[in-house]
Every structure is written in C-alpha cells, then in structure tokens.
Amino acid sequence: MSLIQTIILAIVEGITEFLPISSTGHLIIASSLMGIASDEFVKLFEVVIQLGAIFSVIILYYKKFFPLNRWNFYFKLIIAVIPALILGYLLGNKIDMWLQSPTVVATTMLIGGVILLFVDNVFNKPIINDEKNITFGKSFIIGLWQCLALIPGTSRSAASIIGGMQQKLTRRLAAEFSFFLAIPTMAAATGFKLLQAYKTNPAIITDSTNIKLLLIGTFIAFIVAMLAIKIFISYLQRYGFKMFGVYRIIAGIVLFILIWRGILV
C-alpha cells in the first residue's frame, strides 16, 4: 500500500466513521477501486486507523470524559458495548469473510438507505435529551442495535443512532451517545486485531514502513473525523437522515453496477 493510498483511505475513514453511511463499506470499496490487495496488513490498517476517530471524539467531548469520576457514564458505555464484543468474538471468521464481499456491502447499503428515508418519521417523539436520563437498560438495548453493524455496509453509527432514537433519545443525543459508544467498541476491535497480528505474524506490526503508514493514517483520520463530527451534528439537527438514505441508495445501486461490470469483485 502506497503513501497516497494510505492518505486516501484515512480521509475516507475520517469522513465516514461517524456518518450513517458505513465507514467499513467505504473502505472496502475504496480499497477495491484502488486495486489494493486485501492482505493482512490492509485489514489491520482499516481497523487501527479508527483510533484516530476515537481520539477525535475524546477531544471534542473532553468534558464528558474528564475528570475520570463519572462512573455512571462509563458503566453505561460498558453495558452497551458488551453485546458487540460477544457477537464480534463469536462471529469473527464470518465477519472476515463478509469484509471481502462488495456484494454484501452493496446490499446493506441499499437496505440501510431505505430505512433511513423513514426513520425520522417513525421515531419522531423523543423525550430524552440529556445523557444522564439514559438508563442502563436503554444503554444495553442501544448496544444490541449496534450489533447490526457487524455486517459490513450496515454502519455502526446508523445502527446505534437508530437504536437511540428507538429508545426515545433526541437525534442529537442519539448521535452523541453513538460517538461515545464508538470509543470502547473500536478500542476493543483495534486491540484485538493488534493482538491477533502480533500472535500470528508479528512482522506486520514491527515493520518500520507499516508503522509509518499506521501513524500517518491514524493522524489524518483524527483530523478529518473532528471536522466530520461537527458538520454531521449541525446537519442532523436541521435536516435529519433522509439525504443520507438517498445517498446510500444511490451508492448501493452504483456498487451493484460496478460488481456487474466486473470492476469490483
């Protein structure tokens, strides 16, 4: 993977991680279009650069995380992340297989797009606008919704935000809780991938070139994700999810055309 390809993938990750359009799906498609082979390092890279997105949330919402004595807040995130950790571990091999399938991504992009067209009308009576009013039970249910994102192309952000809205959270609060939930979720996924790589092929994470690409990718994803979060929250409050639904439907159709033409395999 070249430096230019690294930068492009990091920008894609930063833009899409917190939007309801699937960062994993976009990384798969971007990699395919650039002809990047889906080897062990590329799979590791696409997970590790999510650390940049994690740091962007911590910086933007630092008052939520510091000082470190808000046990209720942290416990809610722990409860919410448990379902994804368990299912992710149990379905690890299946997920790796799905990650290599543009057809899976195209299908979930289309289905998710249709759902986003109507989600604002379905969940239109929010009553919770403060994180303090999110119960442990609601946190767990939102965590169950997040499990849908184990299927590439679904979007972790979309699944958890819709889960929050289904639990009567406002659009803004549902989005912010989704951001917070991304931290333990992606930290666990990154840690697991690094440990896996170290056990099976340590040269991948000790090679100086690979380390450089990981650091550059993480930093770029961090900067871009900060901008994306600010823009997304502002847009979401004003206009809702409909345009994201339209985008996903168009993207899904384009993907199927590319697959049909043999450009994506």
Asked if residues 264 and 29 have their Cβ atoms less than 8 Å apart, the reply is: yes
Query: Cα–Cα distance between 82 and 76 in angstroms, integer?
Result: 10
d(CA 230, CA 10): 18
DSSP single-letter state for residue 169: B
Give tens-digit pLDDT for 20-78.
998 877 887 788 788 887 778 888 898 889 889 889 999 999 888 877 777 899 999 99
Question: Domain limits of the chain?
Answer: 3-260
SS3 assignment, position 34:
coil
Is the pTM here over 0.85, yes or no? yes
The better pLDDT of the pair 70, 231 is held by 231
Each residue's pLDDT tens digit, 188-201: 888 888 888 888 88
Taking residue 163's Cβ as centre, other Cβ atoms within 10 Å add up to 26
Q: Which residues contact 111 (CB under 8 A, 6 or more apart)?
A: none
pLDDT over threshold 90, residue 119: yes
151 and 104 Cβ atoms separated by less than 8 Å: yes
Tokens of 152: 């590439």
Q: Which residues contact 38 (CB under 8 A, 6 or more apart)?
A: 31, 99, 100
CA 225, 229, 235, 236 torsion-angle sign: positive
